[in-house]
Amino acid sequence: MSTLLLRRHSVLPGFNLALGFTLLYLALIVLIPLSSAFLKTFTLTWEQFWAAVTTERVVASYKLSFGAALIGASVNAVFGLLVAWVLVRYSFPGKRIVDALVDLPFALPTAVAGIALTGIYAQNGWIGRWLAEFGIKAAFSPLGVVIALTFIGLPFVVRTVQPVLEDLEPELEEAAASLGASRWQTFRRVIFPAIVPALLTGFALAFARAVGEYGSVIFIAGNMPMKTEITPLLISTTLEQYDYVGATALAVVMLVVSFLLLFVINLLQWWASRRGAKLR
């Protein structure tokens, strides 16, 4: 009886209809566009495909794109957790302003972000001039790429970890303290296992966003082949040369590698969730 009432008064349409609309929407927005890239690539022979995606210049762009994205996401995993912790656990003047600033990379056009970062980290910029005294070149170097990807990825970690921290029951920490646990032991054994799945999710989102980033990077990177050229820029350059098949081949490689990395991260997230559930 209760099941029939639930179905009768459900706000959403029936399962079959909802599933049909879901699959149709995903097909139009995701599957068909991505499939077209694969179909275009299939016009190449294996030898042509391999030659297009393994040139020295292309491999250098892979290393920079995935390496910088991994470093940027890792930095955000640490400092994004710190920012989320401060926003949840402490009250201070201007807290709402700081909370709003976290979302600024979401709203700011990526080209504007790239221009701003270049102006700040150039050798005559506010921060770049101080780094230059120590022999550190930020703008127009791989370090600049990492800085840009860190900038655009921070909100993903903060906004995924923040709700989990807010929902943690303070009684668990009080119980740990009453049993003689130090603050570090409470964080390591009580708090951290509970936020690991969210932290991995934020890391995965920041990494995925960074791999495909274009606008904020092309200004600060300098776009020097073999040194500071990212793969999305190389794809755009290939398209400008009317090599559509070569561009789609590079896009397919980026897509496959990104999917595999995200799949591994999701497995780690699933494992962390199960382990956290057993600990609780």
* 29 in any annotated domain: no
How many independent structural domains does the chain possess? 1
The 8-class DSSP code of residue 224 comes to -
Q: State which amino acid sits at residue 269.
A: Q
Q: Are 58 and 231 contacting, i.e. CB atoms less than 8 angstroms apart? A: yes
Does 38 fall in a domain? no
Does 134 fall in a domain? yes
> Which domain range does residue 267 map to?
46-279
In a domain, 187, yes or no: yes
Q: Is residue 127 part of a domain?
A: yes
Per-residue pLDDT, 15: 72
Q: Is residue 53, in this structure, part of any structural domain at all?
A: yes
What's the pLDDT tens digit per position in 29-59? 888 888 888 888 888 888 888 988 999 999 9
Q: Report the pLDDT value the prediction gives residue 276, as an integer from 0 to 100.
A: 57
Using 50 as the pLDDT threshold, list the residues of the chain that sit under it: 1-2, 4-6
Q: What's the rounded Cα separation, in Å, for the pair 187 and 52?
A: 49
Q: Is 18 helix (H, G, I), strand (E, B) or coil?
A: helix
Report yes or no on 125 lying in a domain: yes
Q: Rounded CA gap, 263 and 269, in Å? A: 10
- Tell me the CATH number at 182: 1.10.3720.10
Tell me the C-alpha distance between 115 and 111, whole Å.
6
Count of CB atoms within 10 A of residue 259's CB?
12
Asked, for residue 221, whether it belongs to a domain, the answer is: yes
Q: How far apart are CA 49 and CA 43, in angstroms?
A: 9
For residue 1, the model assigns a pLDDT of 45
CA distance 137 to 245: 36
